[in-house]
Amino acid sequence: MDDLIHLVNGWSDQQFMKEFGPLFEESAWIAERSAGLRPFGSWEEMMQVMTKQVLDSEYVEKLELLRKHPDLGARISMSTSSVQEQAGAGLDSLTPEQYNELKQLNERYTEQFGFPFILAVKGHTKGSIFDSIRQRLERSEQEEFVTALNEVFKIATIRLQHWMTERAK
């Protein structure tokens, strides 16, 4: 993997953005701002730099990043990564009752906080996802904003790990 990070450091900004723009849901600006900060000494450093780009951005950019995420369990067109991640947690096999309940919880959450419920679903079950959204609906807006951003960072890290695993084959 060390050889791969050295290869990535030598890529053009365009190639870097093509490969890593999708780490953050429809927000290639993060990869774009990070590309010029190479070389990275490790994958962890690369993710830290990308995370810092988000944390240092304006509130409106952070909010837009959160709003790019699809509702969990939604039956809409979404990125391939989101489809795979949600299917892995069983959200592609909700009963009609579960789907309706999740839809209502998502709507309530979005109305309350102004962005969709975001959860890195890897390792979660349908039940733990329902529990998480119910618990997080009890939080303050500021607390939930920070939690949602941290979930975005977890998702991006999982996507990077998947990307690395695919390239190692």
Which residues are tagged catalytic? 69
Task: State the residue for tokens 């990307």.
Answer: 163
Distances (CA, A) of 62 to 78, 80, 81, 153: 20, 22, 20, 12
Helix (H, G, I), strand (E, B) or coil at 61: helix
The single-letter code of the amino acid at 163 is W
Per the CB < 8 A criterion, the answer to whether 113 and 141 are in contact is: yes
What whole-number distance in Å separates Cα of residue 54 and Cα of residue 52? 5
Tell me 70's DSSP state.
Answer: P
